[in-house]
Structure 1
Amino acid sequence: MPSALPDGEPVPETGELPPYALEGAGERPLGFYLHVPYCASRCGYCDFNTYTATELRGSGGVLASRDNYADTLVDEVRLARKVLGGDPRPVRTVFVGGGTPTLLAAADLVRMLSAVREEFGLAEDAEVTTEANPESVDPAYLAELREGGFNRVSFGMQSAKQHVLRVLDRTHTPGRPEACVAEARAAGFEHVNLDLIYGTPGESDEDWRASLDAAIGAGPDHVSAYALIVEEGTGLARRIRRGEVPMTDDDEHADRYLIAEEALSRAGFSWYEVSNWATTEAGRCLHNELYWRGADWWGAGPGAHSHVGGVRWWNVKHPGAYAAALGGGRSPGAGREILSEEDRRVERVLLELRLSEGCPLALLRPDGLAAASRAVEAGLLDPAAHRGGRAVLTLRGRLLADAVVRDLVD
């Protein structure tokens, strides 16, 4: 089941933000994340805020139905317009995620996007992305999305090997994600991403190389590769605990990462964030860059998180409770936190260090600066970038990114 929400102070029923959060808002990029919490089945490794039909049965009736979900989410977009007030900022990025957004009709996704456009306007070069399950789209569906304003699509591939997909409880067949790339290109999508996961129990180095080769051969301009994290409470965690499948270790994850870097670099991809590679700067995921650079974004949907001007908040998790709040004219916010200047400094180091441009050394305290010098000596930070006033991870540093961040902010 989905993980628990954090604690926080109450969100006003109006969703109102402190006045300072909106100061200078017009100078900051704004993105929208639109969460679709439905899945046909639950993958064994997933602890995202998603629900199958069985999990929703008896827990909200029509309020939990995906048939009228787009209408409910549009209500939150309209709430966002009231809360953010002032002159509308053209939205720089829209990202529809889940769950499986493509379980909804393409017309529903287009309607959700249209609400953002109508309430805020879209920047001329706005990036508009949806995630998609390879088995839930076809050429006609993709063409409808493209015609409706989507210009980027991200397919969940995970692996090219059937036995690996089986451990992950993925339902698509090997080869289908690669076919989806061709269908998306034919529909007019310029930017296409494939998501991969490495470190699945039972996956070998050769399995991973085969997945990378298949992904690269499909012709996307962006590949994301994430180490499998086994979250407590998931089906996969229970299987590992029972000894049904083996757990991979950190050394195996490191080896797989190096294999990915080699294969993707050889194919013309460049890393721009620890887990993300693109063939061109235009192919980078601008929406995720908003997160990594601490910009403003509004997350609409059950359990979605938002951040505006140093205020972070999150919505109630269940689709029924979410719809009930909006239907009653209330914000669906479940809690929020006010970030201190120190919180924001630490987050900037934590997130920007993961980018290929790194973070400014000016963000570091004296102990962090000393740690950065030691990291250069240890081969974890690039010496030339350090001399130029930035902390930039080397390849070895990327393997130990979490540890480097801890040293720089402690």
Structure 2
Amino acid sequence: MPSTLPLGDPVPADGSFPPAVLQALPQRSDKPLGLYVHIPFCSVRCGYCDFNTYTAEDLGPGASRQSYPETLISELELAAALLESSGAPQRQLSTVFFGGGTPTLLPAEDLARILTRARELFGFAPGAEITTEANPDTVTEASAQLLADAGFTRLSLGMQSAVPEVLKTLDRTHNPENVPTAHDAARAAGLETSLDLIYGTPGESLQDWQRSLETAIALAPDHISAYSLIIEEGTAMAAQVKRGQLPDIDQDDHAEKYLVTDRLLSAAGYQWYEVSNFSRSEATRSQHNLNYWLDSDWWGAGPGAHSHLAGMRWWNVKHPAAYAQRLHQGTSPGHGRELLDDEARVLEYLMLRLRIREGLDIAEYNQLPGAEPITPAVLAELVAEGLIEAEQSQSSSASQGRVVLTLQGRLLADAVTRRLLG
């Protein structure tokens, strides 16, 4: 089952914001506002997955797929009312992201209904990016067109691998032959496309991974995400590793596969813009994910969903039945929250900015309350070790006030973060 929620202060029954957030919100009007919509349903629970997802057998009648859209819309209405009562300037949504779980296990009509209500409540900024994740088996020409007609602009397909044996190890049940079919359906509907891949599955060879990359590249999506597999405690895969049924993660194998990823994607015209994400152009980057990395605000709707607003992070109750019960009673589904202190803000700023192509603005970082200034000596050491760019460009190099990871530095991003923290 999914991991436990973090500890935190309780969220009031009405969901109201603390004074510190109310005071800060008016200064956030220039920050993008995103919406994350969590759809917690899956047909099968994958062995590596630690997300808050459930199969039909896991849930009782109080949390059915049929009733879920109305329940979730109730939270959107609560969110709009709370933001309006805060007195902050109204912000339209710049991004909406339906994730899961498998959002496309719900009928496309239900996803369209949720999106339409979000538009009515918040409004969409010009050029808003509207994404849904999808299992390749659940996308047809008709459903893709309905999503596009409703206002979705982007489809993110969970491809994971092109190799059946690797998919089997991951407990992925989709037919790999349906990936191009789903991708073509999205293209025909005028949607941008993204493919999600995972490397480092136990038993996956370098040739297997190269085959997956080449298969993805041949489809020419706008965007490709390549994530290294993490075996989380409590998952079925973690138990298999402990029993010796599967080999554990090999960090050298991960590094070699990342180097192959960068080489093949770069040769095909994709540029990295975040350590695990590559796009054909700046325009096809995932703007929703960039909101996370750039300290913007977002509301997370759905069971277990996390939100961030003006330096406060909060999360909903985890189980869909408990989530539905609270909303049906007219109370907030929020379970816990925390106001980020200076130490947490400094760490998040450094860690997240360092992962993106534009890198870390040293002067901006040094001005953060609680930050230990980054010294020229540390920068010189990292340049000498080949971990950060010495002279990438005037706007993004250590010598001109920015820290940008080299390819080798991307492999050791966490170590570079620790070095810069001092």
Q: CA deviation at 1:345?
A: 2.2
Amino acid at match of 2:58: E
1:350 paired with 2:357, answer: no
Q: Secondary structure at the match of 1:112?
A: helix
Find the partner of 1:372 among 379, 392, 395: 379
Amino acid at match of 2:81: K
Report what 1:158 is aligned to. 160
Report what 1:34 is aligned to. 37
CA RMSD for the aligned pairs? 1.2
Report what 1:125 is aligned to. 127
Aligned residues between the structures: 405
Deviation digits for residues 227-282 of structure 1, max 9, x if unmatched?
A: 00000111111111111122231000000000000000000000000000000111
Tell me how far apart the structure 2 counterparts of residues 277 and 90 of structure 1 sit (CA, whole Å).
27
Tell me how far apart the structure 1 counterparts of residues 356 and 12 of structure 2 sit (CA, whole Å).
35
Find the partner of 1:97 among 96, 99, 116: 99
Question: 1:7-406 to 2 correspondence within 5 Å?
Answer: 7-18=7-18, 19-56=22-59, 61-85=60-84, 86=87, 87-189=89-191, 191-362=192-363, 363-364=365-366, 365-366=371-372, 368-369=374-375, 370-384=377-391, 385-406=397-418
Q: Comparing 296-305 with 244-253, which one deviates more in the overlay?
A: 244-253
Amino acid at match of 2:56: A
The answer (yes or no) to whether the contact 1:32–1:300 under 8 Å persists in 2 is yes
Q: CA deviation at 1:373?
A: 3.0
Q: CA deviation at 1:361?
A: 1.2
Tell me how far apart the structure 2 counterparts of residues 383 and 241 of structure 1 sit (CA, whole Å).
43
Amino acid at match of 1:300: A
Q: CA deviation at 1:367?
A: 6.2
Deviation digits for residues 274-313 of structure 1, max 9, x if unmatched?
A: 0000001111000000000010000000000000000000
Q: Secondary structure at the match of 1:406?
A: helix
- Aligned residues with identical type, % of pairs: 54
Tell me how far apart the structure 1 counterparts of residues 372 and 320 of structure 2 sit (CA, whole Å).
46
Amino acid at match of 1:194: L
Report what 2:394 is aligned to. none
Tell me how far apart the structure 2 counterparts of residues 366 and 22 of structure 1 sit (CA, whole Å).
27
What stretches of structure 2 of length at least 5 have no aligned partner? 392-396
The answer (yes or no) to whether the contact 2:139–2:185 under 8 Å persists in 1 is no
Tell me how far apart the structure 2 counterparts of residues 54 and 45 of structure 1 sit (CA, whole Å).
19
Q: CA deviation at 1:54?
A: 1.5
The answer (yes or no) to whether the contact 1:21–1:308 under 8 Å persists in 2 is no
Deviation digits for residues 100-137 of structure 1, max 9, x if unmatched?
A: 00000111111111111101100110000000000112
Tell me how far apart the structure 2 counterparts of residues 366 and 28 of structure 1 sit (CA, whole Å).
26
Q: Secondary structure at the match of 2:90?
A: coil
The answer (yes or no) to whether the contact 1:304–1:314 under 8 Å persists in 2 is yes
Q: Secondary structure at the match of 1:230?
A: coil
Q: CA deviation at 1:26?
A: 2.0
The answer (yes or no) to whether the contact 1:21–1:311 under 8 Å persists in 2 is no
The answer (yes or no) to whether the contact 1:22–1:84 under 8 Å persists in 2 is no
Deviation digits for residues 51-95 of structure 1, max 9, x if unmatched?
A: 011122xxxx33211101010111111111111114431100000
Q: Secondary structure at the match of 1:331?
A: coil
TM-score (norm. length: structure 1): 0.97
Tell me how far apart the structure 2 counterparts of residues 248 and 350 of structure 1 sit (CA, whole Å).
23
Amino acid at match of 1:25: R
Tell me how far apart the structure 2 counterparts of residues 373 and 82 of structure 1 sit (CA, whole Å).
51
Tell me how far apart the structure 1 counterparts of residues 75 and 36 of structure 2 sit (CA, whole Å).
12
Tell me how far apart the structure 1 counterparts of residues 251 and 128 of structure 2 sit (CA, whole Å).
38
Q: Comparing 40-49 with 168-177, which one deviates more in the overlay?
A: 168-177
Q: Secondary structure at the match of 2:151?
A: coil
In structure 2, relative to structure 1, the CA distance for the partners of 1:17 and 1:372 (3 Å cut) is farther
The answer (yes or no) to whether the contact 1:100–1:131 under 8 Å persists in 2 is yes
The answer (yes or no) to whether the contact 2:372–2:421 under 8 Å persists in 1 is no
Tell me how far apart the structure 2 counterparts of residues 134 and 32 of structure 1 sit (CA, whole Å).
23
In structure 2, relative to structure 1, the CA distance for the partners of 1:399 and 1:143 (3 Å cut) is same
